[in-house]
Structure 1
Amino acid sequence: MEVLLTYLFYTFIGIVAINTSYYLFFYVFAFAKAKKTTPSYLPPVSLIVCSKNEAENLRRNIPHWLAQKYSNFEIVLINDASIDETKDVIETFAEKHPNIVQVHVENNEAFWGSKKYALTLGIKKASYEHLLFTDADCTPASNYWIQEMANHFVGKKELILGYGAYEKIKGSWLNKLIRHETVLTAIQYYSYAIAGRPYMGVGRNLAYTTHLFYEQRGFIDHMKVQSGDDDLFVNQAGTKENVAVNFHPDSFTISTPKKTFGQWYTQKRRHVSTASHYRFRDKFFLGLFYISQLLFFIFAIGLLAITYQWEWVAGAIGIRYLCSWIAIGASASKLKEKDVILLYPINELFLLFFQLSIFITNLISKPNRWK
């Protein structure tokens, strides 16, 4: 029995070492400084927004996009076979603003319900080489959003990763949970990109060139995957040389979060389903991080319950939490999400089992279309 407990104890120490090393790695983002870029030339930009039944969001956000302080940009509004007033809203704004380009998509048998098909049509209609993507429910955090993102198209940089925040709802634990998960995701994709290993980005705030899009043959390699117009494209096209990260507060977008747990669960099922299509290297390291978190809690609770070497176990737990809290805290502060820090231990534990339930559910049935 003593031999078994010793084995479990040292296994726990190894798990703590692995998990803590991830949080130490995340310091590359937590303590990174936003780079000031002063390009001699700011390129014209095509802002591309794919909308499906988003009439109200378009009414609210088109004025914010039009108000951007940028010298030369167009807005490509894609109506993806909507059945609400989306088409009417787009046409009304287009009549008054010549820099709005309309794309109305009709469903066809081969690409029915495919956001990637609709986006491809929008990209083909774009007038400019440099593309900026967001969603219909996303409001720019400032009138300098386009400028901040376009500033990073310098040298060989053709793919810019931005941060897509969610609106804060006072008194809502679900809202804090959603934003905590969003911060953790951002910490990971920013850290990996800064280290020269980009693996994903978010379509709420993403920019790249048409040259890169056509070089990668667009979305053709994952066209049949329902999600992934953002992260799978970055996973496929991103390199150490062509990716830049932008976390200046003026470059953020703010989206409308899900109001119910069920809506958020459905959304996350779609997001998680794309991870199986990542490169093996990325799946391995992301999977190892998740497994090390899960095993950390299982072993910590078990060893504390039987009080075996409890002083060392408690010390290892304390070191792990100190390193993780610094990484999460500094990153959340950088992303203007300070209020998620206090509930970090509770939210972390909940998210672990939340993700586990999604993995199991996705094995049983596949998520539906993007909308």
Structure 2
Amino acid sequence: MFSIFEAFAKLTIISVIVIALLLIFYVLLIAGLCIGFFRLKNESTNFDNQVFSDTKTRFSIIIPFRNEARHLEALLETLNCLDYPDELYEIILINDGSTDRSLEVIENFLAAHQRLELKTLNNKRVSGSPKKDALNLGIAEAKMDWIITTDADCRVPSNWLKHYNYKILREACTFIAGPVCFYEDQNQLLDAFQQLDFLSLQGATIGSFGLSRPFMCNGANLGFLKSSFLRLNGYAANNHIASGDDVFLMQQFLEADAKAVGYLKTWHALVETAPQPDLKSLINQRKRWAAKASAYKSRFAVLVSVLVLLGNASAVAGLFFAEIYYLLILKVAIDFLLIWCTATLFAQKKQLKHYVWVALVYPFFTLYIALVSQFGKFSWKGRDFKK
């Protein structure tokens, strides 16, 4: 009997040590990303310099959509307010088999706003990723030098293209990632959870750029040189994966020339996107995002993914061991620091009051998504996909 208790005691000690080490590694990772966040300089908003005012980049804005009648008018309103010479940008919308009033919304808006000009195309499915098919079609039709992508449920700032132009001319980038956050919808608690979750992702994104180890970006605010996209064969290497049109493309640009990949660190270039309306939609969205993780080629991206997963698993396991509660408090604190940095940059502090309960729920949510995303199917926009 004594040997059984002795073995159990040893197992407990080993478990505590392993969990403690994993939490320490996680805290060091997030601390490193916080350092990277501060290292990355904020973008200037001074467009008065003669070089930048006289020289203009030409942009093709590519926007796939499927059943976005609810959001399209808000997007079109912001596109109509873009402060950039009309002759230097074009807007291409790609209809990915919408079955709602999306096309009608677009037609009605154009009839009432004569200034806005855009082209609408119908998607042609050729791969396992409808969105990448739509983007490829739009890029093939694009007449301008630079491609800018966003989503149909987004709202873009009026100086959006000016910030890209300034960044391109100042740093000679070929790929630029921009900031994204959620705007408030109607479900207060679910919105708060999504906003804080997304602020952590954006903080990690900015931090990784500050460390010169970018591993994440968002297709809702992305720009790249069309000629480089074509030279790198675009999405050809991963068009069998439903998502990842942003991250996998960035990895290709990083492999080609890491110094030409930049980030727009300013809330003036912030694109706002719609949160998911209910828990089921949120789970499907996160499953879609997580399903691509196993296809990452970047060792740093894999390391971060594994440490984040193990860190959250350790947070759950650590609840059973009072000896490491101080490490759980440290994890909560360092996570808050990264989120606070991002919320401050984006002027999105309102949801920070929900942080405590979100911090308690989030590890369980992360583990659940990590598990279910690697098995079975997920639904998105009325379609079923396999991992």
- TM-score, shorter chain, exceeding 0.5: yes
> Equivalent of 1:67, from 81, 85, 100?
81
| Residue 54 of structure 1: aligned partner | 68
Could you tell me which runs of 5 or more consecutive residues in structure 1 were left unpaired when the two chains were aligned.
Answer: 305-309
Q: Percent identity between the aligned chains?
A: 20
- Taking the aligned partners of 1:321 and 1:81, their CA distance within structure 2 comes to 43
Instruction: Write out aligned runs for 1:269-288 (5 A).
Output: 269-281=287-299, 282-288=301-307
- Of 324, 327, 338, the residue aligned with 1:327 is 338
Q: Over aligned residues, Cα RMSD in angstroms? A: 2.6
Q: Are positions 1:20 and 2:21 aligned together?
A: no
One-letter amino acid of the structure 2 residue matched with residue 276 of structure 1: S
Listed one character per residue, the Cα deviations across residues 303-331 of structure 1 (whole Å, up to 9, x for unaligned) are 21xxxxx4xx4444444444333232222
Q: CA deviation at 1:188?
A: 1.5
CA distance in structure 2 between the partners assigned to 1:275 and 1:191 by the alignment: 19
1:29-62 residue CA offsets vs partner (Å, 9 max, x unmatched): 5434413276632302111111122234223321
- Does structure 2 conserve the Cα–Cα contact (< 8 Å) formed by 1:247 and 1:335? no
2:89 corresponds to 1:78: no
Q: Deviations over 1:162-182 (max 9, x none)?
A: 122111247711100011111
Q: CA deviation at 1:107?
A: 4.6
Name the CA shift for 1:85/1:328 in 2 (closer, same or farther; >3 Å): closer
**Match of residue 247 from structure 1:** 265
CA separation of 1:129 and 1:93: change in aligned 2, threshold 3 A: farther
Match of 1:148 among 163, 169, 174: 163
One-letter amino acid of the counterpart of residue 264, structure 1: L
Letter in 1 for 2:260: N
Matching residue of 2:3: none
The aligned residue for residue 303 of structure 1 is 321
For residue 363 of structure 2, what is the amino acid of its counterpart? L
Question: What's 1:199 paired with?
Answer: 215
For these two proteins, the number of residue pairs brought into alignment is: 361
Q: What's the offset of the Cα at 1:93?
A: 5.5
**Does the CA contact (< 8 Å) of 2:291 and 2:374 recur in 1?**
no
Shift in Å, 1:89 = 4.2
Equivalent residues in 2 for 1:164-313, closer than 5 Å: 164-169=180-185, 172-238=188-254, 240-281=258-299, 282-299=301-318, 301-304=319-322, 310=323, 313=324
Gaps of 5+ in 2: 1-5, 383-387
Match in the other structure for 1:357: 368
Preserved CA contact (<8 Å) 1:115 1:370: no
Structure 2 residue aligned with 1:347:
358
- The residue type paired with residue 100 of structure 1 is E
Query: What is the one-letter code of the residue matched to 2:164?
Result: M
Equivalent residue, structure 1, for 2:117:
100
Question: 1:273–1:367: 8 Å Cα contact kept in structure 2?
Answer: no
Question: How high is the TM-score relative to the length of structure 1?
Answer: 0.87
